Amino acid sequence: MTLREKLAARRAAEAEIDGKARERLRADEAAITGAATRRRSVSLGSAWWAFWRHPSPWIIGTMLVGALTARLAVGDWRLWDAVLPLVMIASFPFFEWLVHVCILHWKPRRVGRVKLDPLLARKHRAHHADPRVVPLVFIPWQALIWLVAGYVAIGLLAFPRLGLGLTFLTMVGLLGLGYEWTHYLIHSDYRPRTRLYRAVWRNHRLHHYKNEHYWFTVTSSGTADRVLGTYRDPERVPTSPTVRDLHAREASAV
């Protein structure tokens, strides 16, 4: 395939994704208003202020401010305080991939009479069913409180010195806030204006509108997906019938 043919194929794939998104959006708006309306792109500033109307950014932001304040007060800076953030940034796409695959896409199971279906998985299925519902874009606050408590315990108890644990907590806050902001922005009406963000935006839209079995990373354009085998040429991936209804085929058996 020539370069021109590859570019044409990519444009066709993007047009298909955009078409599916517009079709779903028109149906959603028609159901609410009785007639389809045209959405306009919002500014980055408007998206930023709207982002802070939800509890998740405030919970993560509070942890970040507290961890950073304590870290500056403790001092005791060493080499590992520079190395650890780099390790966490490099590994975050893989952590993101694992959480997305193993927790968010968890298939409901029964162990005896007990049904195993965590809140995060249920909320994520609802998010796939309707990606335009803004509250479902964010990590559920009920789960987030426990996650923050767990990370604080790790930061204070699992490191050889307090300063390094606080460095860890500060990075958890930065990465968590970055994840929530990126995910929110992708699902908002803000249109990509840079090549880098468009790649991230397109990668996640492929996951929601093309096939839920691929393109699991959110804050990067397929980094972990490329390594772990879930990044594919969209032209060679069939559109999944269950992309909006995760595990629909297994649901009747649970």
Q: What are the pLDDT tens digits along the chain (254 aa)?
A: 676 776 677 667 666 666 665 565 555 444 433 444 455 678 999 999 999 999 999 999 999 999 999 999 999 999 999 999 999 999 999 999 999 999 999 999 888 888 899 999 999 999 999 998 999 999 999 999 999 999 999 999 999 999 999 999 999 999 999 999 999 999 999 988 899 999 999 999 999 999 999 999 999 988 999 999 999 998 899 999 999 998 775 544 44
Please check whether residue 63 is in contact with residue 173, taking contact to mean a CB–CB distance below 8 angstroms: yes
Q: Please report whether residue 5 resides in a domain.
A: no
The C-alpha atoms of residue 12 and residue 235 are separated, in whole angstroms, by 9
Domain count, the chain: 1
Q: Please report whether residue 156 resides in a domain.
A: yes
Residue 185 corresponds to which tokens in the numbers above?
């922005």
Q: Please report whether residue 14 resides in a domain.
A: no
Q: How many CB atoms lie within 10 A of CB 88?
A: 16
- Closest of 5, 86, 47 to residue 190, by C-alpha: 47
Distances (CA, A) of 246 to 8, 31, 123, 143, 251: 31, 22, 11, 21, 9
Q: Please report whether residue 7 resides in a domain.
A: no
In angstroms and rounded to an integer, the radius of gyration of the C-alpha atoms of the chain is 20
Q: What are the start-end ranges of the H helices in 100-161?
A: 119-129, 141-157
Q: Please report whether residue 22 resides in a domain.
A: no
Cα-flanking dihedrals φ and ψ of residue 147, to 5°?
-65, -45
Q: Please report whether residue 23 resides in a domain.
A: no
Domain that holds residue 128: 40-251
Q: Please report whether residue 20 resides in a domain.
A: no
Q: Please report whether residue 96 resides in a domain.
A: yes
Q: What is the DSSP letter of 161?
A: S
Please check whether residue 9 is in contact with residue 1, taking contact to mean a CB–CB distance below 8 angstroms: yes
Please check whether residue 197 is in contact with residue 160, taking contact to mean a CB–CB distance below 8 angstroms: no
pLDDT attached to residue 251: 47
Please check whether residue 217 is in contact with residue 223, taking contact to mean a CB–CB distance below 8 angstroms: yes
pLDDT attached to residue 249: 59
How many residues does the structure list for the chain? 254
